[in-house]
Structures are given as C-alpha cells and as structure tokens.
Chain A
C-alpha cells in the first residue's frame, strides 16, 4: 500500500515533523492524539493542539456523514468519561479499516483520539450485483456458506496499488476445512477481491499436546427432567434466547465426535437442544466438556470482577462452546483436512462461539508434544473468549499487525486469567507465563517471558513479514506479549539489551487494566503496534496518572521490544 502515515503527534526533537492537520491528499491517516505527549521528546503543547485539531475534524466528519458514531459508552474505568467509537463511511458505505475512537472527559472535552481514516475516497457506491447474487458469489468464493451473523455488506476496501474498490463482504464458513473466512468480492463483477481466514484462533504448533489435568472442580449445570445439561444458570444470562436453547450465559455443546454434525452446527444450521452436553447424574466424566464449561465461567468472572465487563459484548451475550468436534482416534483419517481446526486448535468464530479441538490420542506425539483436548487449558479457553471481547470492541482486523495485536490481547488476558485462578508455579495446572502448557505437554505453545525459546520474535526488528498465518499474527503477537511480561515482571530484552523495571507481580492488575482499556476502548480496528503503544500508555495515564509506575513500565517495555 502506498501508505503515507501521518501521526498527529509533533515531536519536538524535529527528527520528523508531522502535520497537525492532515493534508487531504494523504492516502491513510493514522491518528494517535492525546492531551499530553505520548512519545519521548514530544511537547505537551504540541500534542494538545494536535488533539484539538483532530477533535474538530472528527466532529466535522461526523456532521458530513463521513463518520458514523457506533457507540458512546460511559467509561467504567474513568469517572465521568465517555468512549466514542466511529467507523468511516463514504456515501453511507463502510470503508473497511476506517475507524476512530475518541475519549471524552467528564466535561465533554476530548482526551485522546486514535484511529485510521482514508481521506480521499471518491468512488461511486452503486453496485451492479444484487445482494442475493452477492451472497451466492461470496459463498462460492469462500467455498462454504455465508454465516447468518454476517450477511453480505457493501464495503469499500483500499487497493494495495492505490485507489479503492466497491465490494461485498461477509464471513463464510467452509466445511471443507473448518475455517471461517472474511471474503470480499467485487460489487460489480463478483470476482474475488480479497479473502483471509477470520476464525480468530489459537493455532497450535504441531507437536506437543496436552489435555485435562485430572483435577476435580465444580461445574454449573441445569437440570432438565431427570438429566443435567451444561447450561450455566448461576452466571448472568443473556437476555435473549436462540433457537429454543436455554436462556443462560454459557452453553457447552457436545458434538460427540460426529464430524457431520459438527459441520452442520458450524454451518449455523442452528445447534439443537440435543447438542447440549448432558449427563445423567451430574457427575461429569468428559473432561473436555467440564473444562470448556468451567473455564468459560472463570473467564466471565475475571472480566466481570477485574473490569466490570458483562461477558463478551458487555451485555451477557450467550457463549457457545463446542467440544468433541471429532474423535481423537479418527485422526489418521481426518487430520490432513481438519488437523488445524478440529484436532490441534481452538478457534473463535464470531457471535460468541468457540470450538475446541480434541487433541490427539495419548499414544501419539506430534512436534515432541502430547496433545490433550484444547479446552483443558484455562489460558487457552480465556484466550479464545477474549477474541470475543475483541469482536465486540476494537474488532481488530485479523491480519498483519492488527491481527497480531488481536492475538496478543488474547494471550495477555489468557495469562491474566490463569494467574487469577490458579496457583503460581511451573507445573501442570499452575499459573505461569506459558500459553497452553496444560494441553501441549511439555512446554505449551508460546512463552510471554521468553518468546525466542519457541522461535517467536521478542523484538520488533525480528517481526515476521510474511503473508503466511495472516501476516504472522501468531508469531508477531509475541513481541507484544513480551512487552506485557516485561511491564509486569521486569527484565532485560534479549535483543535490545534494555532493562525494564516492571510494576511487580503483585501490581500486575495495573498493567492488565491498562491493556484492557487500550484494547477495548482506545484502539481502532486497524491499529498498528505503534498505535497500541500509544493507546496503552494513554490508558495507563487515564487510570493511574501521568508518570505513574504503570505508564513508566509500559513505556520502557515498549521501548525494550523496539516499538516506538
């Protein structure tokens, strides 16, 4: 892309000076503006002037219909504050990736603006294809079915070579490989314009596996006649009901290893009551079901108690957890087609739905690891459900840096949930800085403290610039993960040699809260690592004050991993 990045910050050092008011010819304008300087060397006066200019521009664009205000939510974390979220429109049609957030203080004054807009969109928005025809073209392009939760939508996307293209877009589930894709087709010709995997998933490195740890825990169920179902009736329920299913906050389904039924359910032909996991005596023996159900509850509790958040959409959206999509013993026949989805993976696929892979038989090792059902790790379950939080907040685009941020937010919160519910230690069932260590044994699949040990980058200079894995979303996330670790625990980055004084493990909530605020309130869908740096620093200031320990730790941690 012919990106001309305009950052609404003025660096007093003069190393590079950015216009306070974006020029109309800019292809992309990335905004990180706040009432006080966000970067070393930036003057507060310059930052404030920059912010005021952007504040006015947001207001003007909203009046002109170029920005649509999606939400104005009272800020739970800053008294009297209001968080606004906008998406860019051109003649009423959404511009993909064009979004802004604006944070207002108790006096209605802008405190910060973050986001990305495309200022030069001029194309006509009358499609030649009718919506019905577009739906079938989208389904064909994605080799599947268009999700009911994501009907075809007219959308303007920026071309890599410049200019813009009017498209239809939808999320499409493919039974051929189990993936959900975001698909774009040309709104005139129906040709595929773009496509990427949009199952927000935690991809496991093929090799180690682990499973359920054999602990005994309480599971919240519902009695139905003489049987019990995995419907959590004690946590706050969704106000809606779906397909005649119980009105609860958490529902766990048992697909019983029946691939055909799995594909039907994930095609959103509607899961039935009979798909809900059930047990005759309320003494549950299927470990994958027990852990999916209970760990989802723990994750709900964490978000509620730590941040005051009510579920994925902050309105107690019902969580659907799909377990046993295949039989682990069927792996010789099915692994080639579904290894990355129904065996060695867990994935979030919009609407509060998570599917957990079954792992592999205990006699099979892959990549030196034994793989257990993916719901057996608390950090994995929390990771996937955090994708749901992202889905209903920043909606970080699942590729390149925004995709890596999407993954990293899930890793960070997954780790935070684990520390909140499990004893700290290095063993199975204990909280540590590894991701997935309970289901991929030994060692898990990622490390926040030492990403390099897993072959993942721990410094921005080592980021992967590949088209694989949606632009390295599962590898480049480790840079941000490591920043999170350093900001809490402190330490020295292996590459930069910079030492960070963290806030300390006992104060980890400060960093968790700043991260949560940045990722759910301040950051736009198209955020870059640099925007994430600015947003997290601003969030720390919002919550703990300028020059607080949290702000200093985050700033030093971002510096240490090379993100400026």
Chain B
C-alpha cells in the first residue's frame, strides 16, 4: 500500500511542469472526479490498557496489575475518494499506528508462612501496541474552487490491534520471605479485529490544478476486549483523534 502512494506522489511531482505549461494558454475549469491523499499524521491516546491477572501461590490467590498508557505518536494515513453523484462520493483509507513503552506492574504475592499477609512487588515491562485501521467512508465534498476544497466523511472502521499483555510477573524471595522482588515479566502478543466508527473533515489547498496539500482531522474509535492469560477481559480502545498533513492529488 505504501509503495503505491509513493508512486502516486512521484507522479504528482511531475505535474507542476504540466500545469505551468497550461497556465499560459487558457484558464482551465477544475474537475473533481476524486482525490487521493497521503498524510503524515499524529494520533492521540486511546487511553490506558489495564489488566489484572490472578494467580495461585502459597495456597492463596495473588494478583498483579499492569497498566500501560497508549501514548500519542506518529501515524501513517493514506486513502482516496471517488465522486459518485453530485458532491457525494465514497472513499477508503488505511491508517497505521504503533506505540512502544513500558507498563507499570504492581502485584501482591501471598506469604508462604502466613495467610492474609501479602507482599508487594513493583516493576516494569516493555509493551508494544500496533493498530491498523481500514476505513470505508461516505464523503461529501465542496465544489472544486480555484484553490480550496473541503470534504467531510464518516463510516465504519475495521480495526486490527496487536497488543502485548503481561501473563506473569516473576519474582524472587528468600527466608524470611517478608519481601518479594520483581525480577521480570512474561509477556505475550495478542491480536484481535473489531469494527468501529470514524468521522472527520479535510481541507485541501491546490496550488496546482491537480496537486495540493491538505490537512485532515478525524476521530475513529473501536472498543473491545482481549483475554488475559487467566481469561479475564482486558478492555481495549483503538483509534482516537488523528490529525494529518500531506499531499492531495485530484483527478
């Protein structure tokens, strides 16, 4: 997909010379059969991923919680639309986002000698979130003016999320066992797909007949559960606010 957009961008670079050549001859009426775009984008946080896992140790139930905040970060956004009737069109886009970071782990480990005397552990583990979203859109566009063109869009979003979850908080302890020390975390990558909804707007500035730059702002969201190692649900939110800036090619 990315390679396709790069080819289109290269094509766009050739267009200014053509437009320049035409400019001196006669005014040309702008047409708008559709548009393709590619954005460098910034995606906001979709919230925290918090999972609590219970386990059995020393005849009691212990637990640990890992909390990972999906931090905002760079994203890739590309897509296009085709006008189908008057100012209405249909579009499709794909966005890709990933966030790496650490998750804070806090846990309670049962004492081997005594009931109801848990020991606390704290630690960190590396976590990765990857999101790929495929958007189908209904698009309403403004008439193609000399320079500016506005669009609004909305439609379903098909999310595919890959998230690292902490399966086990490993710890060490020794006599007299009054403390335990976090040593590492055993993690696992979990993937799941889910449909959500997205909407947004785009404004393009065409400094040439078919080539311009644009800014888009959109929001997409999908909520679903992953399953922790003990089969407890881990609520996930995908998507979030997305702001992008990039090339526009109109045809």
Contacts and interface: CB of A to CB of B under 8 A. Distances in A.
A305 B59 CA distance: 24
A218 B58 contact: yes
A119 interface: no
A214 B5 CA distance: 76
A234 B115 contact: no
Contact of A218 (B112, B175, B176, B178): B112
Interface string A299-342: 00100110000000000000000000000000000000000000
A500 B175 CA distance: 39
Contact of B176 (A217, A220, A305): A305
Interface centre among B112, B113, B176, B177 (most CB of A within 10 A): B113
A216 B115 contact: yes
Contacts of B114: 217-218
Contact of B115 (A218, A220, A235, A304): A218
A297 B175 contact: no
Give the interface size bracket for B toward A.
Answer: 10 to 19
Contacts of A234: 112-113, 175, 177
A220 B177 CA distance: 13
Given A218-B58, A234-B175, A301 B113 contact: yes
Contact of B59 (A218, A235, A298): A218
Secondary structure at the A interface, as helix, strand, loop or mixed, is: loop
Interface centre among A218, A234, A235 (most CB of B within 10 A): A218
Secondary structure at the B interface, as helix, strand, loop or mixed, is: loop
A516 B147 CA distance: 92
A236 interface: yes
B17 to A, nearest CB: 82
Interface string B174-185: 011110000000
A298 B117 CA distance: 14
B113 A297 contact: yes
Nearest to A294: B113
B175 to A, nearest CB: 6
Interface in A218-257: 218, 220, 234-236
A220 to B, nearest CB: 7
A249 to B, nearest CB: 10
A189 B178 CA distance: 58
Contacts of A236: 175
Interface residues of A, number: 12
Interface centre among A216, A220, A301, A305 (most CB of B within 10 A): A301
A297 B177 CA distance: 13
A416 B115 CA distance: 21
Interface in B151-203: 175-178
Nearest to B58: A218
A15 B163 CA distance: 86
B108 to A, nearest CB: 16
Nearest to A215: B115
Contacts of A217: 114-115
Nearest to A232: B113
A228 to B, nearest CB: 13
Contacts of A216: 115
A564 to B, nearest CB: 40
B175 A220 contact: no
A218 B112 CA distance: 8
Contacts of A305: 176, 178
A217 B112 CA distance: 11
Contacts of A218: 58-59, 112-115
Contacts of B59: 218
B34 to A, nearest CB: 72
Contacts of A304: 175-176
Contacts of A298: 113
A301 B58 contact: no
A298 B111 CA distance: 13
A304 B175 CA distance: 10
Nearest to A301: B176
Contacts of A220: 112-113
B177 to A, nearest CB: 7
Contacts of B58: 218
A17 to B, nearest CB: 51
A14 B214 CA distance: 106
25 contacts: A216-B115, A217-B114, A217-B115, A218-B58, A218-B59, A218-B112, A218-B113, A218-B114, A218-B115, A220-B112, A220-B113, A234-B112, A234-B113, A234-B175, A234-B177, A235-B175, A236-B175, A297-B113, A298-B113, A301-B113, A301-B176, A304-B175, A304-B176, A305-B176, A305-B178
Interface of B: 58-59, 112-115, 175-178
Given A218-B114, A234-B175, A305-B178, 16 more contacts: A216-B115, A217-B115, A218-B58, A218-B112, A218-B115, A220-B113, A234-B112, A234-B177, A235-B175, A297-B113, A298-B113, A301-B113, A301-B176, A304-B175, A304-B176, A305-B176
A-B pairs, top 8 by smallest CB distance, nearest first, are: A301-B176, A234-B112, A218-B113, A236-B175, A305-B176, A235-B175, A304-B176, A218-B115
Interface of A: 216-218, 220, 234-236, 297-298, 301, 304-305
